[in-house]
Chains A and B, each alone.
Chain A
Amino acid sequence: MNIEYVGLKSINGPLVAVEGVKGVAYEETVELVFHETEKRAGRVIAIEGDTAIIQMFDTTEGISLQNTRTRFTGRPMELAVSPNILGRVFDGAGRPKDGLGAIRSSKKLDINGSPINPVSREYPHDYIHTGISAIDGLTTLIKGQKLPIFSGSGMLHNELAVQIVKQANVRGAGYGIVFAAMGVKNDVAQYFIRSFEESGVLERVVMFLNVANDPIIERVLTPRCALTAAEYLAFELGMDILVIMTDMTSYAEALRELSSAKGEVPGRKGYPGYLYSKLASIYERAGKIKGIKGSVTQIPILTMPNDDITHPVPDLTGYITEGQIVLDRELSQRGVYPPVSILMSLSRLMKDGIGENYTRGDHFACSNQLYSSYSRVSDARSLASVIGEEDLSPVDKQYLKFGRAFEERFLNQGFNVNRSIDQTLNLGWELLRMLPISELDRLGEKEINSFIKTASEE
């Protein structure tokens, strides 16, 4: 279709309306040409009779009601894919940014994707070794999982994500990384690129960069482009793909800005009511499909405004993702790295991916008792802050000691240390042996005999 419509009916922020159109499809992409040469892209977001409402991906600066010609492409937003996208850098809307030219491929995929049929899904079971005790031991990452990092500004979430990429044992011929930056600072994007380079994986990374000063409207497309690439690599080329998306809070803010421009009824904190659906349509694009080799594992990163976990973005994210890794300001200030607040962290797929055939038979018991004992530490600490450490009961004092050791030895491991699962679990048992046996109420006779008693007699 090459019909062009001259002129516009109205321009309102990023929304323009074109009148008198025929045969326009909902959500198709649009090209606006003005001053004869300059092109800008947009998408149809509503149709009413012969009027199409278009949301622009670029600024509407310089556009007047008269100087524009509108061309409807007849296609939804698409991303051209081929095996050559590995190692390339794209902007937030999927256009090449590295000067290496366009991706030549007849294969173009709708960036919105389609939901995976629950019957076709394969339930994720395979453990990903990250070498980080807090994750491997207590919030185990599973191939095909979506496990976000909840952080706050100033904490080392980027380092943690890089360490996971560096140490994850998904290596081999069929692995790749898709990196999506949304509204992060240029420095942060550069840090990731440099880290990929240093660990020698750059040619296996596909990057979609929409940094802080890039158009905000493209930001809502960035995760969708990235996941389209990820799904293609995983489910058509059979690769194991790790997707890192940062920062989901910026994505949600872009959505809010657009929503308010459209004059929609705002929900909590001004975010649109459909934020949950939008986030879900991103996070749900992780997983495994029966009979296909590849997998999509997501590690989205989000910053909690004011470290508030009840803020709509972390809150809704937690309802969709399969757990969360929460970073803690206090631990971070005490120099513990990674500063994972394990009580608030959770991996929902962990229980099916650990144990005899995956990690070790005693993994579940060990992690369960560590969680339970560590939760007693905070009780003892709040008591100590009232009556002083001196007056605590002997058991509570032991808990305080255990708590400190747990944070300084188990959690704190440094950026370059890669611990094996044996090291992690043995360290866990060693710490538990600091507590009296009567306090270990999550363990059965068997575990007490083989991990608490025998080892302490040695």
Chain B
Amino acid sequence: MQTYDKMNMEIYSISGPIVKIEGETTLFINEMVYVGEEHLIGEVSAVSTDETIIQVFENTTGLKAGDPITRTKNPLSVTLGPGLLSGIYDGICRPFDKIEKATGSYIGRGVNIPSVDGNRAWDITLKVKVGDRVDEGDIYATVQESSIIEHRFIVPDGIHGKIKWVCENGSRVAKETICEIESDEGSIFKLSMLSKWPIRKPRRVKKRLPPKVPLLTGQRVIDTLFPIVKGGAAAIPGGFGAGKTMLQHQLAKWSDADLIVYIGCGERGNEMTQVLEEFSELIDPRTGKSMLERTILIANTSNMPVAAREASIYSGVTLAEYYRDMGYHVAVMADSTSRWAEALREISGRLEEMPAEEGFPAYLPSRLSAFYERAGLYETLGGRTGSVTIIGAVSPQGNDFSEPVTQNTKRFIRCFWALDKSLAYSRHYPAVNWNISYSEYAGELQEWFNEKFGTEYSKYREEMIRLLAEESSLMDIVKLIGADLLADEQKAVLDIARLIRAGFLQQNATSPIDSYVPLEKQFNMMKYCSMLYEKTKELLKLQIPQSVIRDSGVYELMIKAKYEIPNDDLGGFTVLWSDITHRLGEVEERYR
């Protein structure tokens, strides 16, 4: 299939993942090459008349000066086609299960297996017939890839013409030609179920659309306080132990995207195993199928070669864009972008480039912006609507948010979910700090929420934000003089804010009821918190002390609502409310 240039090329120097060829070559930038006798996979990263620099995606131990380098004349690409779903791949999209068959429990070298099995048979349905006119982006066939995802094959970029031949519906192997197109210029294109795409090149779209629909996550602090749109970009910065990975897992499980691409970039091996194990057992509440059926995993754990870590982010986004072009909403979780930035730094150091801030290369901001800008809601070439949402974790060194990766990321995202160590220390998860997090999408989404729940929605939300802000300024006073000297109105604010924190913002990922909460229940929780606040204020007007209201236990009742009221039966709120009003009625009676 591939034509190799017979030109003899040899390794001249080796240093870590970087090998160099001396003298001028005809290799092009981003060309994939095979390095050494074992055919390690490498990519050309710089060329000059003096030398060519190649980064190698596998461990370079044992390479020798003079070892051969073979060119492929193709850019580093990923094979796209049915069968990607539910799989787990390395940084350059080689399937781990096949690697295991080839080299056992430890990852070996020089395993060249494409991401998709070309010999696997699929039951194909053709969507065009001979003589039909097709343009780039049109669907010519489909396959039911998993019970929930229909894989749509689209006419590649730049092809316009007539269908010359199609195969019949039925079982075909992936690499077989299923359709021939005669282009307007008269050339014939043979299409199979497989295609290739260079991992670093964004796929073309017709136009960008303004995002206006939320990506619902079932996480109250996100959906209500800091919502994200389908096609948005968000960052989750947090020191170790703050719960980044936990939150990423929650988002991957419960987001209402059609598809999830989870990139484990420079993180723990056990975490990837956990995702595999847990997702195959978990049932998606929307489809009733296993979570794994809509998930693709990319894993470059922290002990795998650093060059592949740099590539893993691009591999992931390329897969996401491929499904987006079929008309799906895809969410990409990148955990953690800091490890990716560190990979850039390490390679940059090996190349002896001039370092900028903290040793990171000067092009760090432009690489970050190029990555996050691949998020968006689009009209695809074929006129369908699809989106890629990117949620990147950031691991700031020493929990210092002023470090370069956090700061530069902040410029290119519009949703900032800052995780707070002190919240995590008191086991308040998700540890999203409501004082420094923000979502620029909140304004754009107001219309959508108000349409669903009426303008009350914004009212409750704003009240909640106001109470939390008031609490944090009151706490400054409490820290100096204690809570006892506050006025009763202020004590009420503290009690309600505590109710919001413990009963609403804090969410228990291990509880079957609380792990995912539909928007309707979130709305009701907000509503009844607000009603309870109103009721409290009424009683205070009757000169009833706040401590008495608190001792009636109504706040605890409300806090427990998250565990006691099932997600699919919100009638419990009326029962709860009558219990609360009954208790408060007794209090009122006593003071009459």
Interface residues of A in 205-233 (CB under 8 A from B): none
Q: Is the CB of A117 within 8 A of B100?
A: yes
Q: Kindly identify which residue among B65, B99, B103, B302 contacts A280, using a CB–CB cutoff of 8 Å.
A: B302
- Our pick among B306, B510, B553 for the contact of A364 (Cβ within 8 Å) is B510
- Cβ of A368 under 8 Å from chain B: yes
Binds A, one of B7-15, B176-184, B193-201, B384-392: B7-15
> In the complex, what distance in Å separates the CA atom of A98 from the CA atom of B132?
82
Complex partner residue of A277 from B60, B277, B306, B359, CB under 8 angstroms:
B306
Which A residues, 406 to 431, have Cβ-Cβ distances below 8 Å to chain B? none
Most chain B Cβ neighbours within 10 Å, of A47, A76, A119, A274: A119
| B355 in contact with A441 (CB, 8 Å) | no
Q: Which residues of B contact A393 (CB under 8 A)?
A: 482-484
A121:B62 contact, CB within 8 angstroms: no
Q: Smallest CB–CB gap between B60 and chain A, Å?
A: 5
Enumerate A279-325 residues with CB–CB distance to B below 8 Å.
Answer: 280-281, 283-285, 287, 289-290, 292, 310-312, 315-316, 318-320, 322-324
Q: Is the CB of B273 within 8 A of A122?
A: yes
Q: What are 16 A-B contacts defined by CB distance under 8 Å?
A: A22-B65, A46-B14, A49-B13, A76-B62, A115-B269, A116-B107, A117-B99, A118-B273, A124-B270, A274-B306, A276-B342, A277-B306, A315-B239, A320-B302, A344-B425, A383-B482
Question: Which residue of B63, B272, B395, B425 is within 8 Å of A118 (Cβ)?
Answer: B272
**Contact in complex: B355, A265 (CB < 8 Å):** yes
Q: Does A26 contact B (CB under 8 A)?
A: yes
Interface string of B506-538 (1 = CB under 8 A from A): 000010000000000000000000000000000
- Closest residue of chain A to B60 (Cβ to Cβ) is A26
- Of B96, B349, B426, the residue contacting A264 (CB under 8 A) is B349
Q: Is B88 an interface residue (CB 8 A)?
A: yes
CA distance A318 to B244 in the complex (A): 13
- Other A-B pairs beyond A24-B65, A117-B105, A281-B303, 19, CB < 8 Å: A22-B65, A26-B14, A45-B15, A117-B104, A118-B301, A120-B100, A121-B272, A124-B270, A268-B397, A292-B105, A320-B268, A322-B270, A324-B240, A364-B510, A372-B427, A383-B479, A386-B479, A391-B484, A438-B553
Which residues in B have their C-beta under 8 angstroms from that of A318?
Answer: 239-241
**Cα–Cα, bound, A114→B59 (Å):** 9
| A24-B65, A284-B302, A324-B241 as given contacts; A382 in contact with B426, CB under 8 Å | no
Cβ distance A261 to chain B, nearest Cβ, rounded Å: 15
Q: Decide if B158 is an interface residue (CB 8 Å cutoff).
A: no
Please name all residues of chain A whose beta carbon is closer than 8 Å to the beta carbon of B301 when the two chains form the complex: 115, 118, 280, 284
Q: How far is the CA of A284 from the CA of B300 in the complex (A)?
A: 12
User: Could you tell me the distance between the alpha carbons of A22 and B302 in the complex, rounded to whole angstroms?
Assistant: 33
**0/1 per residue, A314-355, Cβ < 8 Å to B?**
011011101110000000000000000001101001011000
Contact B349 A273 (CB under 8 A): yes
Complex Cα gap A28–B65 (Å): 13
Is A444 an interface residue when CB atoms closer than 8 A count as contact? yes
Check B63 against A284 for contact (C-beta < 8 Å). no
Shortest Cβ distance from residue A297 to the other chain B in the assembled complex, whole angstroms: 12
**Complex CA–CA separation, A124 to B271 (angstroms):** 10
With contact pairs A115-B303, A119-B96, A276-B302 given, residues A25 and B481 touching in the complex (Cβ less than 8 Å): no
Q: Which residue of B lies closest to A282 (CB)?
A: B303
Q: How far is the CA of A280 from the CA of B346 in the complex (A)?
A: 14
B572 interface hit (Cβ, 8 Å): no
Q: Which 10 A-B pairs have the closest CB atoms?
A: A375-B426, A280-B302, A310-B398, A318-B240, A284-B303, A114-B106, A120-B105, A48-B13, A118-B272, A343-B425
A287:B269 contact, CB within 8 angstroms: yes
Q: Which of A343, A364, A441 contacts B502 (CB 8 A)?
A: A441
Are the CB atoms of A375 and B553 closer together than 8 Å? no
Task: Identify the closest chain B residue to A286 (Cβ).
Answer: B270
Given A265-B355, A323-B241 in contact, is the A26-B63 Cβ separation under 8 Å?
yes
Flag if B398 contacts A346 (CB, 8 Å).
Answer: no
Question: Does A265 lie within 8 Å of B359, measured CB to CB?
Answer: yes
Q: Do A273 and B397 touch (CB < 8 A)?
A: no
What separation, in Å, do the CA atoms of A343 and B425 have in the docked complex? 5
Interface string of A33-49 (1 = CB under 8 A from B): 00000000000011111
Whether, in the assembled complex, B299 has its beta carbon less than 8 Å from a beta carbon of chain A, the answer is yes
Residue B108 interfacial (CB < 8 Å): yes
Query: Which residue of chain A is the closest to B273 with respect to CB atoms?
Result: A121
Write the nearest CB–CB distance from B375 to chain A, whole angstroms: 25
Given contacts A116-B107, A287-B269, A391 and B482 within 8 Å (CB-CB)? yes
- Whether B482 lies near A118 (C-beta < 8 A) is no
Number of contact residues on A: which range applies?
35 or more
Q: Which residues of A contact B112 (CB under 8 A)?
A: none
Partner of B398, one of A26, A117, A315, A343: A315
Interface membership of A392, Cβ < 8 A: yes
Determine whether B276 belongs to the interface, using a CB cutoff of 8 Å to chain A: yes
Establish whether residues A285 and B399, one from each chain, have CB atoms under 8 Å apart when the complex forms: no
Whether A349 touches B107, Cβ cut-off 8 Å, given contacts A26-B61, A48-B13, A276-B339, is no
Specify which of A48, A122, A319, A344 lies most central, judged by the most chain B CB atoms within 10 Å of its CB. Answer: A319
B15 x A117 contact (CB < 8 A) = no
| B211 shortest CB reach to chain A, Å | 32
Q: Does A27 make an interface contact (CB < 8 A)?
A: yes
Given A118-B269, A386-B479, verify A442-B64 contact (CB < 8 Å): no
- Tell yes or no: A13 within 8 A of B by CB: no
Q: Is A23 an interface residue (CB 8 A)?
A: yes
Distance in angstroms between the alpha carbons of A273 and B358 in the assembled complex = 9
8 A Cβ contacts from A1-38 to B: 22-28
- Of B145-153, B365-373, B555-563, the one with at least 4 CB within 8 A of chain A: B555-563
- Specify the chain B residue showing the minimal Cβ separation from A395: B483
B306 to chain A, nearest CB (A): 6
B286-300 CB mask vs A (1 if < 8 Å, else 0) is 000000000000010
Which of A49, A311, A438, A441 neighbours the largest number of chain B CB atoms within 10 Å of its CB? Answer: A441
Q: Tell which of A28, A267, A396 touches B358, judged by Cβ atoms closer than 8 Å.
A: A267
CB neighbours of A195 from chain B (8 A): none
CB pair B269 A273 closer than 8 Å: no
Measured CB to CB, the residues of A under 8 A from B are: 22-28, 45-50, 76, 110, 112-124, 144, 235, 264-268, 273-274, 276-277, 280-281, 283-285, 287, 289-290, 292, 310-312, 315-316, 318-320, 322-324, 343-344, 346, 349, 351-352, 364, 368, 371-372, 375-376, 382-383, 386-387, 391-393, 396, 438, 441-442, 444-445
Name the interface residues of B551-587: CB closer than 8 Å to any CB of A: 551, 553, 556, 559-560, 563-564
Question: Is B304 close to A, CB under 8 A?
Answer: yes
Residues of A within 8 A of B130 (CB): none
Q: B96 touching A118 by the CB < 8 A rule? A: yes
* In contact, A119 and B65 (Cβ under 8 angstroms): no
Q: Which residue of A lies closest to B96 (CB)?
A: A119
Chain B residues positioned under 8 Å from A47 (CB to CB): 13-15, 64-65
How far is B61's CA from A110's CA once the two chains are assembled, in angstroms? 10
| A312 and B397 contact, CB distance less than 8 A | yes
**Residue in chain B with minimal CB distance to A373:** B426
Query: What is the CA–CA distance of A287 and B303 in the complex, to the nearest angstrom?
Result: 13
CB distance from B292 to the nearest CB of A (A): 13
The answer to the question of B345 belonging to the interface, with a C-beta cut-off of 8 Å to chain A, is yes
- Give complex CA distance A324, B273 in Å: 20
A123 close to B270 (CB less than 8 A) = yes
Give the nearest-CB partner of A351 in chain B.
Answer: B510
Chain B contacts for A287, CB-based, 8 A: 269-270
Residues of A contacting B66 in the complex (Cβ-Cβ under 8 angstroms): 22-23
B266 at interface (Cβ–Cβ under 8 A)?
A: yes
Judge if B478 is at the interface, Cβ distance under 8 Å: yes
Interface bits B328-351 vs A (CB < 8 Å: 1, else 0): 000000000001001001100100
B488 CB–A CB distance under 8 Å: no
Q: How far is the CA of A117 from the CA of B97 in the complex (A)?
A: 9
Specify the chain B residue showing the minimal Cβ separation from A22. Answer: B66
Instruction: State whether the Cβ of B480 lies closer than 8 Å to any Cβ in chain A.
Output: yes
Q: Is the CB of B349 within 8 A of A119?
A: no
User: Do A382 and B479 contact each other (CB < 8 Å), given the known contacts A118-B269, A287-B269, A444-B563?
Assistant: yes
